[in-house]
Amino acid sequence: MIQNYIVFLEYLNNKLEGFFNSQKDYIFCKKGCAKCCKNAQFPYSFLELQYLLKGYLQLDKETRDIISQKVDKIKEDKIKSKEDLFRYECPFLINNECSVYNYRGIVCRTFGLMENADNNIIKTPFCCYEGLNYSNVMDNNEISEDKVNKINPKNKPLAFNINHNLLTSEDFERGFNIKFGEKKPLIDWLTNEGIK
Ligand code: SF4
Ligand code: SF4
């Protein structure tokens, strides 16, 4: 199953590389910018979790211990939190870099692009409101044609079908002979036993 998932990830990475390239006039992602790893729910399927843990197990003991302590702290915060949709900093983020980069989940790979969400809604990444992706063409929370024309981009701003539910749907399961399994926020998967 993991082998087939790796093939799926190669397919996804190729697609995403093309998507990000086509949007490069609006993308400000760079190493060390990890705002998107700091305040989210991080939906993960069971299969994605298995692969992530494979990466985790390859880390040295000291790093694994740091992650384990972060998981404990997030779980404490979650219990105290009154939020329905609890958001947290991903425990795998260390010194603003992903410690399991090659093993990260689907949502970690797609984030930063505009997304075609349900009901034909276009979702812009939150970082556009922090001077990052797509911020150079935003005006009053919408893409401004004028601003787009001024930068004379290679491609117009586009939204892509990168919704997590879609990318983990039965169509992809059938196509790659994989089963994603149950989906839930990453922190809810991470029992102490699971990451030790
Ligand atoms: S998606 Fe936004 S927050 Fe995340 S690395 Fe790119 S610019 Fe930074
Ligand atoms: S797994 Fe890595 S890329 Fe994904 S949220 Fe955590 S630190 Fe960020």
Residues of the chain short of pLDDT 70, as ranges, are 192-196
Determine the Cα–Cα distance for residues 124 and 111; give it in Å rounded to an integer.
10
Is 3 within 8 Å of 137 (Cβ atoms)?
A: no
Residue type, 38: K
40 lines ligand 1 (CB under 6 A): no
What pLDDT does residue 172 have? 98
> Structurally, how many domains does the chain consist of?
1
Residue 87 CA to ligand 2 centre (angstroms)? 13
Determine the Cα–Cα distance for residues 183 and 30; give it in Å rounded to an integer.
29
Helices H / strands E in the chain, number of each = 8, 9
What pLDDT does residue 192 have? 55
Nearest ligand, CA of residue 92? Answer: 2
Structure tokens at 50: 């298995």
Domain that holds residue 153: 2-195
Radius of gyration of the chain (CA): 18
**Residue 61 pairs with which residues in a beta bridge?**
none
What pLDDT does residue 195 have? 65
109 lines ligand 1 (CB under 6 A): no
DSSP percent split of the chain into helix, strand, coil, nearest 5: 50, 15, 35
The pTM for the full model equals 0.94
Residue nearest to atom 4 of ligand 1 (CA): 36
Residue 167 CA to ligand 1 centre (angstroms)? 20
CA angle 73, 68, 125 (to 5 degrees): 70
